[in-house]
Amino acid sequence: MDLRQLNALVAVADHGSFSAAARSLHTVQSNISTHVARLERELAAMLVDRSSGALTEEGMVVVARARRIQAELDALAADVASLNAEVTGDVRLGVIGTTARWLVPRLVEEMGRQHPKVQMVVVDATTTSLLPQLESGRLDLAVVNLPIDEPDIETDELFEEDRVLVAPAGHPLFGRDRLTLADLDGEPILLEPRGTNFRDQLEEQAADEGVTLTAQAEVDGMRLLASLAFQGFGAALLPASAAPGFIGGDWKRIPVDGVVGRSVGIARRRKALLSAPARALRDVVFQIVAVHASQQSGVHPAATLPATVTARKDATGQLNQPESPE
């Protein structure tokens, strides 16, 4: 077994056929076929269904491992290069959309300033979409809703944010300045689906208070939920960062008193050693949250941010890099 065989199989998985895999690796189809066939002989298993080009169950297991091997090799090269020079290499970060809105612009700026040789790839998606990508090695880090009940994932809390109701003009609750969970009893509202952290935490608290949350519609994606409310399709329960401020008179952001906040953290694979670029990016995320999170209405930085994060703004408004621990 060698890396060429694994790379060929991953390319087939990514591109759907032997010919497309060959084009992606700048080789000929016969080479891809040979590498995959040799790998199949060594493992005594069929990895690709030749009639459809789809991976077999065994093939999917091998590809999942191969992706992790590729990620570790990339990390190895980046770590060695970073010992004698600036941090360099690739890092892949997933971010939930509501946080990406204010975090990613600052992250792009600060990574460019502090680590200009790091190539950053950002994936904007929901927590339920990001976690499988993190577990498979397609992502190095992911900013997600907490808590995460996955034994192979570990997290650091970044911040907590208030939950608010966004009500469009004309909605029965539009005239209210503050609400409690009891005020929402039986009121049709836009919600995330059951099984997501945001919805499940609300349902747990509602059950404790004898409140029934009624879903007008269930949408897995905070930005889409917010857009539906902004456009007048209904009232939505959202994290504060999904509704950054009051705009005109078409909708209103209403605090919901007594409701537990949403926790957001940065996640990584427990057994994976972060590469130098991933460690650098994670540190910059901590810096940005420490300095900028509280500037977002209803967002509160975690008290448990790493003690080494001491970043402050300088006179130009840029972040100073934190001091290295002794």
**pLDDT score of 16:** 87
**pLDDT score of 323:** 44
pLDDT digits (tens, 9 = 90+) for 133-157: 999 888 999 999 999 988 999 999 9
Q: Which amino acid is at 162?
A: D
Name residues of the chain where pLDDT drops below 70: 75, 77-85, 245-249, 307-326
Domains and CATH numbers, the chain: 3-73 (1.10.10.10), 86-158+263-301 (3.40.190.10), 163-260 (3.40.190.10)
Give the bridge partners for 120, in sequence order.
Answer: 91
**pLDDT score of 289:** 96
**pLDDT score of 245:** 63
Cα–Cα distance between 271 and 133 in angstroms, integer? 15
Q: Is 170 helix (H, G, I), strand (E, B) or coil?
A: coil
**pLDDT score of 317:** 53
**pLDDT score of 74:** 72
62: buried, middle or exposed (CB in 10 Å: 19+, 13-18, 0-12)?
A: buried
Residue of 325, 289, 320 lying closest to 307 (CA atoms)? 325
**pLDDT score of 85:** 62
**pLDDT score of 315:** 44
Judge whether 29 and 18 are in contact, CB under 8 Å: yes
Number of alpha helices (DSSP H) and beta strands (DSSP E) in the chain? 9, 12
Cα 283 from chain centre: 16
